[in-house]
A and B are shown apart, each in its own frame.
Chain A
């Protein structure tokens, strides 16, 4: 059950031209700035707008402009979750979740819907109206409403962008768990690199209607090929296992961090938090690594220094510091990061 799409959409002067192959069980994030055509792509795949090209899902052709074939949205079994949820305001939570099942003429639609709500821990909200829900709850109900129809392809449009920053991490984790249990093809659209990297196995970076880069998060962030991806790579993102007071990376290196937790975790270190020294620094920083300067990049008043070490990081320093430390590509350097500057959250 895989998705093969080769679509072109013309809108005024904007052209979306995307070739996409997604395997089942794989989560692909379409990442790009606003106006890149991400939502247009989702609407095209779900059949809400007509495309030039071909869309094939699980071997079935959904649309082919060459033959004029076009399966209407309601017959595609494609689950589309809108950015701001679009729950039906006149139906309560249970009826919202049961809606798609009723459309499929399932006689026990309400019972099945209640089951979905119970498994998601939202049973007590069954008779609430959408306007009474918090943003996080509305997002979860919108996802359940779609999952309940057992779509073959799940399309999520900016699933977390309508949420408060404070609850994003929680909802992101739950979303990640629900995505893992969904067997079909999963496609997420987002402009937030953090959402993309934490939720997806593979990134497809879309700019101006065209795919500029695709690959695993590591592949994409390691070699930016556009400004957007370069900004995206702006933070140091590490992945490893939480070990209480440190994170153990895949490479075997460890990063000290308070509250590192347990299990799969992400660690984020901002380049500004990485201090550079010519000799081993004395003092409190618990993360000290010796490395080699890979390259130096001037960005206005700041210089980004990429250092290759057991824990490769990008450091951001002032031009004065570069002169003082006589930093140059290939030179040796020590890096220090305070444990408190390492933020860790579950993967």
Chain B
């Protein structure tokens, strides 16, 4: 009974979204310039954030998987914090660090005249901040479940650190990296709180789809519904794709 209620609680809003969708205007809404711009920007930012997470997150996961004791607990806590931190707080934190008067931001501004706040770069940073933990956690779990003897066999065959990492560790981690990257990307795509706080709401520059949905709800609700449907479709596609990944063999 309660379980059914719980399921209904999930289903009803989704059903509402689909029923109330202005299907006849969907195509129009989809091709509207502001929608297309937001989609394009969202795609770019989420992919860029995922790329940044891959470049920074994989080495972090390697270090995490090889440290032990208190240091590891501290590092893990720091890495996973953005997962439980309200995104708005993350945005404020980024603002205080990279804003014009922030710790790093003021240095960047005074030394190089660079300002991150309210730029596309800020949107990418906000998304990376919130989404990278998903990748780090997935890759670290992959590293921990990796049979260490593959690396030992490679070393016994004469392979040095980098060759072992590039030709044995990384390829064997591919499933973990892939699922981590997809989760990371999905989280980046839906990121709202940190983005609007740190990057603001500038169409074409920082107005990603979730931000656009929020703004459009006031003025053009049908456009908001269309954008929401797109995000829903992406989520369902990821879920379907990942289920095969998670249940299937490597």
> Which A residues are closer than 8 A to B by beta carbons?
46, 48, 72-75, 77-80, 82, 86, 88-91, 99-100, 102-104, 145-146, 149
Determine if A88 and B163 form an interchain contact, defined as CB atoms under 8 angstroms apart.
no
- In the complex, 19 of the A-B residue pairs with CB atoms within 8 angstroms, ordered by the A residue number, are A46-B156, A74-B155, A74-B156, A74-B159, A86-B149, A86-B152, A88-B153, A88-B171, A88-B172, A90-B172, A90-B174, A99-B157, A99-B159, A100-B157, A103-B154, A103-B160, A103-B163, A145-B157, A149-B158
CB-based contact A99/B154 at 8 Å: yes
Contact A86 B150 (CB under 8 A): yes
Given contact pairs A80-B152, A99-B157, a sample of 4 additional A-B residue pairs in the complex whose CB atoms are under 8 Å apart: A72-B155, A74-B160, A82-B149, A91-B171
CA distance A198 to B76 in the complex (A): 52
Contact yes or no, B158 A104, CB < 8 A: yes
- CA separation between A176 and B76, bound complex, in Å? 50
- Given the interface contacts A88-B168, A89-B172, A90-B171, does A103 sit within 8 Å of B149 by beta carbon? no
**Shortest Cβ gap from B119 to chain A (Å):** 40
Question: In the complex, how many angstroms separate the beta carbon of B59 from the nearest chain A beta carbon?
Answer: 21
Separation of A48 and B154 alpha carbons in the complex (Å): 12
For residue B167, CB closer than 8 A to chain A, the reply is yes
Which of A73, A89, A146 is the one whose CB lies under 8 Å from B155? A73
Q: Cβ of B150: which chain A residues have Cβ within 8 Å of it?
A: 86, 88
Chain B positions within 8 Å of A99 at CB level: 154, 157, 159, 167
Chain B contact residue count (CB 8 A cutoff): 18
| CB-based contact B156/A80 at 8 Å | yes
Report the minimal beta-carbon distance from A90 to chain B, rounded to whole angstroms.
4
> What separation, in Å, do the CA atoms of A82 and B171 have in the docked complex?
20
A-B complex: 10 closest residue pairs judged by Cβ atoms: A100-B157, A103-B158, A80-B156, A103-B159, A73-B155, A90-B171, A86-B153, A74-B155, A86-B149, A74-B158
Q: Give A90 to B158 CA distance when docked, in angstroms.
A: 18
Write out the residue numbers on chain A whose beta carbons fall within 8 Å of the beta carbon of B160: 74, 103
Binary interface encoding of chain B residues 68-80 relative to chain A, with 1 for a CB under 8 A from any of its CBs, else 0: 0000000000000
User: Which residues, 139 to 178 on B, are CB-close (under 8 Å) to A?
Assistant: 147, 149-150, 152-160, 163, 167-168, 171-172, 174
B contact residues vs A (CB 8 Å cutoff): 147, 149-150, 152-160, 163, 167-168, 171-172, 174
Secondary structure at chain B's binding surface: helix, strand, loop or mixed?
A: helix
Given the interface pairs A73-B152, A86-B150, A86-B153, the reply to whether A100 lies near B172 with Cβ below 8 Å is no
Are A82's CB and B155's CB within 8 A? no
A43 to chain B, nearest CB (A): 8
A100 to B159, CA, bound (A): 7
Assembled-state Cα–Cα distance A91/B150 (Å): 12
Residues of A close to B172: CB separation below 8 A: 88-90
CB–CB A82/B157 < 8 A: no
Contacts of A77 in B (CB 8 A): 158
A103 contacts B157, C-beta separation under 8 Å: yes
Q: Given the known inter-chain contacts A88-B168, A90-B172, please indicate yes or no for A82 contacting B158, CB distance below 8 A.
A: no
Closest A residue to B159 using CB positions: A103
* Alpha-carbon distance A77/B155, docked complex (angstroms): 10
Instruction: Give chain B residues whose Cβ lies under 8 Å from the Cβ of A89.
Output: 172
Bound together, the chains give a CA A73 to CA B178 distance in angstroms of: 31
CA distance A91 to B171 in the complex (A): 9
Write out the residue numbers on chain B whose beta carbons fall within 8 Å of the beta carbon of A46: 156
When the two chains form their complex, are residues A79 and B156 in contact, meaning their CB atoms are under 8 A apart? Answer: yes
Alpha-carbon distance A145/B168, docked complex (angstroms): 15
Which residues of chain B are within 8 angstroms of A48 by Cβ–Cβ distance?
152, 155-156
Say whether A80 contacts B163, CB under 8 Å: no
In whole angstroms, what is the CA distance A100 to B155 when docked?
A: 9
| Chain B residue, CB-CB nearest to A95 | B167
A9 nearest CB across to chain B (Å): 16
Query: Given the complex, which residues of B lie within 8 Å of A146, measured CB to CB?
Result: 156-157
Closest Cβ–Cβ distance, residue B151 to chain A (whole Å): 10
Give the CA-CA distance A80 to B153 in the complex, in Å.
7
